[in-house]
């Protein structure tokens, strides 16, 4: 089994369903409230485990009742939680509003996720060296993600960066991502960090990002196709058409499934085809982690 280390965030998601998203200043009544495990890193760790990888999850949770819920599905799916630390900050929370079309808006309260410090990365040196791939996202402080990129470079371990949400990481961290996984909005902000004037055409824009030193890039575009870019080619992976119920966690499902297959030796095209199908399946059910199924 391929060894994947996921470093980052875990939350408890509080999701409400509404007919439509409220306008500024407007109050709406929700039809239902649902509590479930979440957090981009935790979601990706679960998707990677369900896709066949041996996953270690490094995260921070609070000394509160939410911690058990945040880790519930990771624990039952066999993810190694020995690198999860309990801290004095509250467990992270995410407040999610989902409309009738399945689109969501999310507000994050970082809590314990914000307790990460660059020196914490030193304690993960052996886990980083043992992994085929290490995955980071933007829900922990930027200087921590920078430290992970440096540690991966020192250990010659593949570093996968999902720059979501976009945080102010160093240029060298962006160019360490192999791949850098972004959506269209995130790609434009990454281009700005690299000093590139963003182009209107997706293919042209991501080619310029790769030309600026990023080894490879994956551009996710929701229900549209995914673009894979390296120095010498651009591949398009067509998305699977499905009836959408809830898109929460779909991007994370793609990343986790993609990295699991990449770490196991698949080429980027095969890994992305698998990940696109895995992610498409999740949007046919409600919730983030609770919508994931073993691939």
> Which active-site residues does the annotation give?
252
Place of tokens 């509590």: 35
| Residues 48/6, Cβ–Cβ less than 8 Å | yes
User: In the 8-state DSSP scheme, what is residue 288?
Assistant: S
Distance CA 13, CA 289 (A): 10
Cα separations in angstroms, 124 against 155, 223, 233: 11, 36, 34
Closest to 103 in 3D by CA, of 250, 277, 238? 250
Token pair of 18 as six digits = 């509404």
First-to-last C-alpha distance (Å) of the chain: 14
φ/ψ bin of 145: left (φ > 0), alpha (ψ from -120 to 50), beta (otherwise): alpha
Beta strand spans in 129-270 (E): 133-136, 158-162, 180-183, 216-220, 226-230, 234-237
Distance CA 199, CA 264 (A): 34
CB atoms within 10 A of CB 29: 7
Which 3 state secondary structure label does DSSP give 32? strand
């Amino acid at each position: 089994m391929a060894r994947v280390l996921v470093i980052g965030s875990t939350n408890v998601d509080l999701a409400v369903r509404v007919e439509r998203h409220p306008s500024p200043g407007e109050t709406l009544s929700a039809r239902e409230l649902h509590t479930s495990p979440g957090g981009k890193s935790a979601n990706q760790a679960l998707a990677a485990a369900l896709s066949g990888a041996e996953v270690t999850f490094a995260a921070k949770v609070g000394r509160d009742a939410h911690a058990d819920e945040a880790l519930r599905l990771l624990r039952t799916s066999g993810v190694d939680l020995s690198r999860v630390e309990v801290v004095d900050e509250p467990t992270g929370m995410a407040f999610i509003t989902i409309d009738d079309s399945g689109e969501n808006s999310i507000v994050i309260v970082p809590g314990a996720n914000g307790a990460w410090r660059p020196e914490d990365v030193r304690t993960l040196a052996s886990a980083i060296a043992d992994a085929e791939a290490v995955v980071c996202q933007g829900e922990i402080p930027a200087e921590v993600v920078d430290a992970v990129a440096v540690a991966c470079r020192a250990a010659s371990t593949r570093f996968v960066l999902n720059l979501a949400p976009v945080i102010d990481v160093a240029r060298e961290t962006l160019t360490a991502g192999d791949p850098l996984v972004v959506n269209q909005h995130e790609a434009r902000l990454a281009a700005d960090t690299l000093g590139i004037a963003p182009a209107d055409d997706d293919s042209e824009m991501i080619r310029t990002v790769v030309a600026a030193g990023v080894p490879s890039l994956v551009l996710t575009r929701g229900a549209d196709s995914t673009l894979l870019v390296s120095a010498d080619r651009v591949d398009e992976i067509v998305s699977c058409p499905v009836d959408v119920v809830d898109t929460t966690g779909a991007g994370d499902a793609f990343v986790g499934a993609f990295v699991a297959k990449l770490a196991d030796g698949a080429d980027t095209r095969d890994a992305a085809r698998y990940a696109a199908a895995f992610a498409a399946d999740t949007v046919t059910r409600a919730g983030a982690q609770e919508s994931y199924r073993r691939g």
